[in-house]
Structure 1
Amino acid sequence: MEETKQMGQEYTRRSIATLGAAMVAAGQAQAQSSQHERVIVPFGPGGTSDILARLVVASINKTPGRTLIVENRAGGGGTIGADAVARSAPDGRTMLLMDIGGLAVAPNLFPNLSFNPETDLLPVTMLSFTPYVVAVHKDVPVRTAQELMAFARRSPDRLTASNSGAGALTHLTSLVLTKAWGAPNATQVPYRGSGPSIAAVVSGEVVMTASTIDVMKPFIESGAVRGLAVSGPNRLALLPDAPTFAELGWPMPEVGSWQGVLTQGRTPVATRDRLEAEFLTAMRDPTVVERVTSLGAVVRAQGSAHLRETLKAQTEEYGRIIRENGIRLE
């Protein structure tokens, strides 16, 4: 009788242990399934990177079993979100989608940057290129790029230019252009992001700005601002009379928003290759292509090697500009 009782107790203990193990396993599986893969956009909603991220993620999520989410983590000119990816697990589940110009500028401005873009982030693929447009407030008495240059030379003290933050690529672009126009002392006015920077030229608070065509488009179409020149290799359908920087002989002819995807630097190559193929496929989705094109951008879906080379070249180029102009951030 006692032996039977002991056997029963042992069976109960084993059953409870088995049930407990099953519950733990189920909990782990549920937790794992809820930990979706993330595409971090290191800026606020509504900008170029955010728009593109949501388009691409929606395309990828059409695949059965795929659930990517977009997470906005703004601050530090993109460095806060980039740092989060650099510190993530090297499993390819956390990705960074941003204008790689920000990554190229950061190490040249922040000597104590918390991560090394070259080693802590692994290039996955280039996605697109969005050209910059130089635009002026509608009441500024210039109607062509040539007239803007003449205005700059004639009245450098009246030329004010907004940018999305000190040291940002829009700041570097505006600084290089105004110097080339003969107005090295033009006033560069930093704002906290592209939205406020564009609002400043729309309201007439500043004379001009240089920003991406996708965010400038509605204001150009409404007549609030006048687009005078565009970067990139070709004129835009939206501004057929606006010459390219190259046509005008301006510096930085290929400046603009180069959007790319990176992941944690120690991620296995096989995982990187899978992500690369996935994002390149998404950039061939007709819905994505149509939307990107309608915003004035160009699909530049090229692999990890191209992204790595472009990032290296831009880091060197923007570093030179920063040093030559003595740009320092306090």
Structure 2
Amino acid sequence: MKKTLLLLLASMMPFCANQAFAEPSTIGYAKKNIEVVIPKNPGGGTDTSARTLIEFSKDHLPKGVIFVPVNKPAGNGITGLIEVARAKPDGYKLVMTTVELAMFPHQNKSPVTYKDFTPLATTIADPVAIVVRADAGFDTLQAFIDSAKQQPGKLKVGNSGMGAIYHLAAVNIEKTTGTKFNHIPYNEGTGPSIAALIGGHIDAVLTTPGAVKSQVDAGILKVLAVMDEKRFELVPDVPTIKEALGLDVNVKMRAWAVLATTAKVPPEVAEQLVKAFTEVVNTPAYQDAVRKQGIMPVTIVGQDAYNMMREDDELYKQLIADTLKK
């Protein structure tokens, strides 16, 4: 009897070992490769964050199945968004949506909205920051706002293009504080606007803290406040706008990127994807990888990501309407 029991236990050991060390495939529905549309050019923050997430998620796929990233920046990214929004809702097409999805519909630039997607996981959700030269004499946001009130329309505030996130962030500050800026667009992107600030050609720029971290560390630039409900880990000593100005409400604006799939996918497909990506974004290895890219890791997934997208859609709808009235 004892010999039989030992033989039985010995025969079970390989099976138990395999069970202990096997990686579970949480995206079990996938029988073929999953395409990940990146509606941006290669090399940018959205592209890099998307590729990082799917690289760390590959072990959650069944054997022989992979994620296939495809850059489709045509039409300012709208072409790729439309393609996935109108794809068969089977989970075989994903897309990196960005904060522009909350703006374009209200600017008559896109026929699709956040409602056309099922959000899975957020890779970027950095707050907008108000940045000045360190030697500009504005030690606090209150000092900057006071100066703007004393000379309406004089302070030059740079952005990455009229109607884009950083211009609308400045409009939001105007609306909140009763000020008026001279908006200076740099359509080539955030880099030229930061260079203009360093060169003394403008008085402030709105961007994310990560975009100016090296200049802040070097003592060239200074972040006055962040547009969020809490302080940002990358610049923990910088107050929120609510703190800096003693407001009763938070002033939130975030530059986000959310990996999503087509709306109306079967619940079990969405559940498998959200579960897999949630596990990934919570791993230290993934979080370390995105930090090295200058991005602070976030764990906004599933319904929470949908809520963020919906809130921002409502915010930009009103901001864009206010801008058009001017």
Aligned to 2:307: 309
Contact 1:59–1:288 under 8 Å retained in 2 = yes
The answer as to 2:41 corresponding to 1:50 is: no
Contact 1:59–1:285 under 8 Å retained in 2 = no
Q: CA deviation at 1:89?
A: 4.0
Structure 1's 145 and 198: CA in aligned 2 closer, same or farther, altered over 3 A? same
| The one of 233, 247, 261 aligned to 1:263 | 261
Q: CA deviation at 1:160?
A: 1.4
Structure 1's 253 and 140: CA in aligned 2 closer, same or farther, altered over 3 A? same
Q: CA deviation at 1:186?
A: 2.5
Structure 1's 83 and 95: CA in aligned 2 closer, same or farther, altered over 3 A? same
Mapping of residues 23-102 of structure 1, within 5 Å: 36-63=33-60, 65-74=64-73, 76-99=75-98, 101-102=99-100
Contact 1:40–1:95 under 8 Å retained in 2 = yes
For the residue of structure 2 that corresponds to 1:210, the secondary structure is strand
Q: Counterparts of 1:157 and 1:327 in 2: how far apart (Å)?
A: 17
| The one of 146, 154, 161 aligned to 2:157 | 161
Contact 1:162–1:208 under 8 Å retained in 2 = yes
TM superposition score normalised by structure 2: 0.77
Structure 2 stretches lacking a partner, 5+ long: 1-30
Aligned to 1:233: 229
Q: Counterparts of 1:197 and 1:46 in 2: how far apart (Å)?
A: 19
Q: Counterparts of 2:121 and 2:234 in 1: how far apart (Å)?
A: 28
Aligned to 1:129: 125
Q: Counterparts of 1:66 and 1:301 in 2: how far apart (Å)?
A: 26
Mapping of residues 134-149 of structure 1, within 5 Å: 134-149=130-145
| The one of 183, 187, 192 aligned to 2:188 | 192
Moved more, 210-219 or 123-132: 123-132
| The one of 140, 153, 173 aligned to 2:169 | 173
Contact 2:121–2:299 under 8 Å retained in 1 = no
For the residue of structure 2 that corresponds to 1:158, the secondary structure is coil
Q: Counterparts of 1:95 and 1:138 in 2: how far apart (Å)?
A: 42
Aligned to 1:286: 284
Contact 2:167–2:183 under 8 Å retained in 1 = no
Q: Counterparts of 1:247 and 1:314 in 2: how far apart (Å)?
A: 21
CA RMSD of aligned residues (A): 3.0
Q: CA deviation at 1:247?
A: 0.6
Q: Counterparts of 1:228 and 1:255 in 2: how far apart (Å)?
A: 15
Aligned residue type for 1:280: T
TM superposition score normalised by structure 1: 0.76
Structure whose alpha-carbon radius of gyration is higher: 1
